């Protein structure tokens, strides 16, 4: 009796579940006319052309998957489309690519794992991604007090190219050194600091801040070590928080110096809608506006550009002869099977 009732109930559950499914799977017959302009209408995972190998799956974080300056714009500019897009946490796209879960993934260009996992950044030959070169940003008052800061940090910024920054990041992320150890070792090797520090002045100390991820922590330590070697006292406020937190602290005068990215300042702090893909142009605009509006001085920017990157495994890229995103787009659209 009881068993029979339970069976009936079970069937009912299945029925309800089934109808839910049916609703879920039913094709939309009554899609109301979409009032949007065609550019915005383009869905992320539209049915791909028949010849695309279904193995071409793209791993991305959620933000990149949807932003205009992310995947939707990328596929439009390069004229290609992946068979499927899997969204996941940003930190695990590198591992997913290494483990062969996907053939292509997005990441950030200077992440240490790219080298450690034997991945390769594809060249953004149509310069789609906005630029994120990095500069020490100093408050005007601070620079007036210590004008030599520019002379100390400009050559250091110039020495930070993409390979260098990747390598420094890797030493922290993969080899588990402390950011301060990595910073000190590199400054020594490059000759920016040595065994002969200048006498510490007794002026107002410079408060050095940073955001809370690896690259920022390392850059913060580099600034602190270099300034102190040259006799400028500092206060370590690195790892303060997210972009907005550190920036607001600097606008209030609680932080005197931190490393900021040109692209971030353009969009987030100065409120521009359109990203700029030329490094010099972007830097010039940001430097001028920030000085004018907020009294912040942008020192020289680094050659490394920590922008979005499209990555493949080095071995696959070599085998398929892919070095640029255009190569990748062509391979996908011409039906080359995914590695």
Partner 1 sequence: MLQNLYKLVLVPLFLVIVGVVIVIYTVNNPTDGLVARMLTYDNVIRALREHLMLMLVSMIGAITVGVLVGIMLSRPSLYYLGRGVENVVNVGQTIPSLAILALFFTWLGLGFRVAVFALFLYSILPILRNTFAGITSVDDSIIESAKGMGLNQFRILTRIELPLAFPIIIAGIRTAIVINVGAATLATFIGGGGFGDLIVTGLSVRRDMVIVTGAGLAALTAIILDYVIGQIEIRVVKWT
Residue numbers of the site for partner 1 (CB under 8 A)? 2-3, 5-6, 9-10, 12-13, 16-17, 19-21, 23-25, 28, 31-32, 34-37, 39-46, 59, 61-63, 65-68, 72, 86-89, 92, 95-96, 99, 101
Residue with smaller CB distance to partner 1, 82 or 146? 82
The smaller minimum CB distance to partner 1, of residues 9 and 291, is found at 9
Query: 237: which 2 tokens?
Result: 């406020």
Strand partners, 59: 86, 105
- Closest alpha carbon to 268 in 247, 238, 250: 247
Structure tokens at 60: 């991305």
Q: How far is the CB of 76 from partner 1 (least distance, A)?
A: 12
For the packed helices 179-190 and 162-173, what is the interaxial angle rounded to 10 degrees?
Answer: 140
Cβ-based nearer residue to partner 1, 44 or 285 = 44
Least distance from partner 1 to the Cβ atom of residue 84, Å = 10
Q: Nearest Cα to 119, choosing from 90, 96, 91?
A: 96
The H or E element that residue 250 is part of is: helix 243-252
Question: Smallest gap, in angstroms, from Cβ of residue 130 to partner 1?
Answer: 15
Shortest CB 75 distance to partner 1, Å: 12
Note the residue count of the chain.
339
The least distance separating partner 1 from the CB of residue 259, rounded to whole angstroms, comes to 23
In the complex with partner 1, which residue's Cβ is closer, 68 or 141? 68
Which residue, 25 or 189, is less far from partner 1 as judged by CB? Answer: 25
Provide the token pair at 143.
């620079």
Question: Rounded to whole angstroms, how far apart are CA atoms 235 and 207?
Answer: 5
Least CB distance to partner 1 at residue 16 (A):
6
Q: How is residue 25 written in tokens?
A: 């799977």
| Distance of alpha carbon 123 from the chain centroid | 15
Which of residues 107 and 209 has its CB atom nearest to partner 1 in the complex?
107
Tokens of 165: 């920054």
- Sign of the C-alpha dihedral computed for residues 141, 146, 148 and 150 taken in this order: negative
Q: Which is nearer to partner 1, 18 or 155 (by Cβ)?
A: 18
- Output 105 or 131, the one with its CB closest to partner 1: 105
Instruction: State the minimum distance, in angstroms, from the CB of residue 98 to partner 1.
Output: 10
Whose CA is closest to 299, among 257, 330, 265?
Answer: 257
Residues 6 or more apart whose Cβ sits within 8 Å of residue 202: 233
CB 239, min distance to partner 1, A: 22
Cα dist from 79 to 127, 201, 307, 312, whole Å = 14, 58, 21, 19
The nearest distance, CB 320 to partner 1, in angstroms, is 23
Mode of pairing for the β-strands spanning 104-108 and 308-313: antiparallel
Helix (H) or strand (E) segment spanning residue 119: strand 119-121
Distance in angstroms (rounded) separating the CA atoms of residues 259 and 160: 12
């Amino acid at each position: 009796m009881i068993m029979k009732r339970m069976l009936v109930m079970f069937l009912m559950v299945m029925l309800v579940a089934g109808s839910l499914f049916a609703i879920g799977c039913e094709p939309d017959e009554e899609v109301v006319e979409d009032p949007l302009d065609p550019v915005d209408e383009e869905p992320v995972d539209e049915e791909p052309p028949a010849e695309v190998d279904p193995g071409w799956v793209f791993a991305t974080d959620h933000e990149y998957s949807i932003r205009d300056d992310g995947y939707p714009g990328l596929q439009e500019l390069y004229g290609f489309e992946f068979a499927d897009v899997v969204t996941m946490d940003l930190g695990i796209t590198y591992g997913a690519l290494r483990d062969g879960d996907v053939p292509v993934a997005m990441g950030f260009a200077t992440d240490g794992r790219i080298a450690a996992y034997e991945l390769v950044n594809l060249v953004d030959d149509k310069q789609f991604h906005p630029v994120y070169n990095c500069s020490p940003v100093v408050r005007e008052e601070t620079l007036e007090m210590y004008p030599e800061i520019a002379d100390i940090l400009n050559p250091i910024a110039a020495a930070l190219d993409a390979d260098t920054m990747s390598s420094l990041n890797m030493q922290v992320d993969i080899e588990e050194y402390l950011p301060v150890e990595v910073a000190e070792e590199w400054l020594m090797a490059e000759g920016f600091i040595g065994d002969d520090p200048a006498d510490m002045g007794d002026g107002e100390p410079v408060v050095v801040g940073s955001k809370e991820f690896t690259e920022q922590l390392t850059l913060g330590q580099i600034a602190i070590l270099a300034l102190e070697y040259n006799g400028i006292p500092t206060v370590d406020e690195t790892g303060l928080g997210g972009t907005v937190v550190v920036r607001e602290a600097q606008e209030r005068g609680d932080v005197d110096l931190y490393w900021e990215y040109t692209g971030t300042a353009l969009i987030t702090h100065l409120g521009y809608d359109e990203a700029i893909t030329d490094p010099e142009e972007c830097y010039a605009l940001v430097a001028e506006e920030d000085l004018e509006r907020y009294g912040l001085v942008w020192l020289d920017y680094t050659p490394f550009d920590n922008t979005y990157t499209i990555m493949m495994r080095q071995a696959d890229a070599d085998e398929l002869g892919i070095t640029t995103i255009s190569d990748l787009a062509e391979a996908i659209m011409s039906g080359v099977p995914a590695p």
